[in-house]
Structure 1
Amino acid sequence: MFFLEALQLISFIGGLLLAALLLLLYYVQKSVTTALPMIKRNKLEKYYFNPNTKLDEAFPSIDDEPSVDLSVIIPAYEEEKRLPSMLTESVCFLEERIKDGKFTYEIILVSDGSRDGTAKIGHEYSKKLTTEKFRVLNLLENRGKGGAVRLGMLSARGRNLLFADADGATKFSDLEKLEYGMKAFTADWRKDGLVVGSRAHLESEAVASRSLFRTFLMHGFHLLVWVFTVRSVRDTQCGFKLFTRSTARKLFHIMHVERWAFDVELLYLAERLRLPISEISVNWKEIDGSKLTPFWSWLQMGIDLLLIWFRYTTDIWQIPNKRHDN
């Protein structure tokens, strides 16, 4: 009898401590963030350099009407070694496509506070292709991959917008697979659609080549993603995603996370807004030179993931124009 009473008292005190801890966490998080993101952009970051005219010209806004078929957004932080091969592959593919005269594109390279020759490589392409096809968004300070992608998207002219990693790990021609998947939703940029490139079909191969520790981290992260945030997509982190302009407008104006876990928040928001999402298998290979450090990067992403869930669940972060049938 005494043992049961002691157990009940311990449970009661534990419950009070947990409630107090959650309440403290709520007020701390409420004080350090805002319901909607405050998107910071230096005045100089609103312009791109035109190497042919030697002038700075203003980026458009995603809220404007589109003027090209496809925008390719490439976030790059000190990628002068891996970037050239990726740009060669993507430009060759896109230039081949425009030969029929029915397709137009732009590439926006977002140099995320790079101190190496990343921006210089981009300007060489701007000079060769002209800024009608290739523009460099040079961020003065490192914002994080999510922040770089967001500002690139908000500066784009495309009816559809592709986010592609600078390492070239995904075969660029697999864009056709994503476009085919998008056609199942819509051929109209005014309507919603999000197609996610996926490496889920390569998971067994990845497990075989990775250490037990990295495999544990990978599975642990996937479990947290499924439990707390995204359930319709198996691979949230592949850097190859295609958006209609309508969907990009909805998501990138309200996304908060600017570091590695931004993909999770984007997909979480898309699910909460009930936007059409499709996951398509792509060809992918690991490229040396990743900025991710296995333990600390996964730890940071795990913390960000839990904060995404907590902040949206408690309405610290809010979703405007959320459909009432959710």
Structure 2
Amino acid sequence: MAPLSLQLAVLYAALGAALAAAALILISLVAFVTARDMPPLHRHEGERFFLDARGRKEALPSLGDPPSKRLSVVVPSYNEEKRLPVMMDEALGYLEERQTHGSDKVRVVTLVKNRGKGGAVKMGVFSSRGERILMADADGATRFADVEKLEKGLEGLRPWPDRMAIACGSRAHLQEESIAQRSYFRTLLMYGFHFLVWFLCVRGVRDTQCGFKLLTREAASRTFSSLHVERWAFDVELLYIAQRLRIPIAEVAVAWTEVEGSKLVPFWSWLQMGKDLLLIRLRYVTGAWRLAPAGKAE
């Protein structure tokens, strides 16, 4: 007969496993019950138009329309009076050099309601005219000319299945330098977040959060049509959707510089993103969230 201590150890292990299983089931049930339907791309009346150079209202295009430009750039912005002008000067200066036709460089879509960063990017993507769509952050932390690196990364993925491909800017090559400049606590948070991304959602992409991403029009349509998360973790769901759809993804090293003024609060923002990662995984696994069918653009 096994010693009493061994029996107790086995009993505690079984009890612990049962509690863990019960907790997982409970969390999955909560994730399923609290899951929202995909946020509809409802445009308020003021979001259906933009003002042209003469101050006249002009209807915004749809992602379902044929492309009329080579490249569209989507820049989400909220209270960015200081950083956005610097970023726009750099971007417009670069685009001016490579633009061969057309004069309407900037269209401002003013959102009636704060939709979060993911919701703002989604609105911009669905109002784009380009064959390729670039996401870029308003802080200008990434050198805009590195879009050429993303284009090369995109071309390196050919042949594109159903004309879909994504190139992600990456700061992973700067990780050692960033660790040296961070506190131990922030470094721990960073490693914990990266582990959760790898364990729960996206594998093969070391830096999911860099805001510099280039998508073909078809890839943007398929991924953003299924996007649910509207906060900071939307990048992770975007790439999770892309991997489920087997859209090829290239990760490309880009030049990046820390710019003051970030709205992310390290602990609370990362805690929120960690919760979002768990819910993304559970809601797709339980069927609470599903991928939008092909051909649904808006």
- Same fold (TM > 0.5): yes
Per the alignment, in what secondary structure is the counterpart of residue 295 of structure 1? Answer: helix
Aligned to 2:288: 316
Is the Cα contact below 8 Å between 1:35 and 1:318 reproduced in 2? no
**Bigger shift: 183-192 or 253-262?**
183-192
CA contact (8 A) 2:161 2:247 kept: no
Q: How much does 1:12 deviate?
A: 4.4
Aligned to 1:46: 48
Residue 91 of structure 2 aligns with which residue? 90
The amino acid of 2:28's aligned partner reads Y
Structure 2 partner of 1:283: 255
Decide whether aligned partners of structure 1 residues 188 and 24 sit closer, same or farther in structure 2, where only a CA change above 3 A counts.
closer
Question: Residues 45, 95 of structure 1: CA spacing in aligned structure 2 closer, same or farther, 3 A cutoff?
Answer: same
TM-score by length of 1: 0.83
Aligned partners of 2:32 and 2:286 also within 8 Å: no
Task: Please give the alpha-carbon distance, in whole angstroms, between the structure 2 residues aligned to 1:64 and 1:260.
Answer: 28
Residue 222 of structure 1 is matched in structure 2 by 194
- In the superposition, relative to structure 1, how do residues 4 and 255 fare at CA in structure 2: closer, same or farther (>3 Å)? same
Q: In 2, Cα distance between the equivalents of 1:317 and 1:291? A: 29
How far 1:262 moved relative to its partner? 0.7
Shift of 1:6: 4.0
Q: Deviations over 1:186-237 (max 9, x none)?
A: 4989601100001111111111111111111111111111111111111111
Identity of matched residues, %: 51
- Whole-Å separation in 1 of the counterparts to 2:283 and 2:124: 25
Counterpart residue type for residue 228 of structure 1: L
Runs of 4+ in 1 over 3 A off after TM superposition: 1-24, 34-41, 186-190
* In the alignment, structure 1 residue 30 sits paired with structure 2 residue 2: no
How do 1:215-294 and structure 2 match up within 5 A?
215-294=187-266
Determine helix, strand or coil for the equivalent of 2:250: strand
Distance 1:182 1:162 in 2: 12
The DSSP-based 3-state class of the residue aligned with 2:209 is coil
Secondary structure of 1:75 counterpart: coil
Pairwise mapping of residues 82-161 of structure 1 onto structure 2 (< 5 A)?
82-98=83-99, 101=100, 132-161=104-133
Cα distance in structure 2, aligned partners of 1:157 and 1:77:
23
Cα distance change on mapping 1:58 and 1:32 into 2, 3 Å = farther
CA shift in 2, pair 1:17/1:38, >3 Å:
farther
The separation in 1 between residues aligned to 2:109 and 2:192, in whole angstroms, is 35
Q: Which has the higher contact order (CA 8 A, sep 6+)?
A: 2
Instruction: State how far apart, in whole Å, the 1-side matches of 2:42 and 2:265 are.
Output: 27
Q: Secondary structure at the match of 2:90?
A: helix
1:44-87, Cα deviation, whole Å (9 max, x unpaired): 212212351x3322211101110010000000110010011100
SS of residue paired to 1:242: strand
Counterpart residue identity of residue 23, structure 1: I
Alpha-carbon distance between aligned partners in 2 of 1:275 and 1:309, rounded to the nearest angstrom? 18
Q: Secondary structure in 2 aligned to 1:298?
A: helix
Whether contact under 8 Å (1:186, 1:192) holds in the other structure is no
Indicate if the aligned counterparts of 1:144 and 1:258 stay in contact, CA closer than 8 A. yes
Query: Structure 1: which amino acid aligns with 2:50?
Result: Y
CA shift in 2, pair 1:68/1:189, >3 Å: farther
What are the ranges of 5 or more consecutive residues in structure 1 without an aligned counterpart?
Answer: 105-128
More strand by share: 1
Compute the displacement of 1:321 (Å): 4.6
Measured against aligned partners, the alpha-carbon deviations of 1:11-51 in whole angstroms (never above 9, x if no partner) come to 44444444443333333322322454433432321221235
Task: Tell me which amino acid in the other structure corresponds to 1:303.
Answer: K
Are the counterparts in 2 of residues 178 and 196 from structure 1 also a CA contact under 8 Å?
Answer: yes
Give TM-score scaled by structure 2 length.
0.91
Q: Which amino acid aligns with 1:159?
A: E
2:72–2:134 Cα contact (<8 Å) kept: yes
1:170 lines up with 2:172 in the alignment:
no
Q: Paired residues, what number?
A: 292
3-state SS of 1:176 partner: helix
Distance 1:20 1:203 in 2: 38
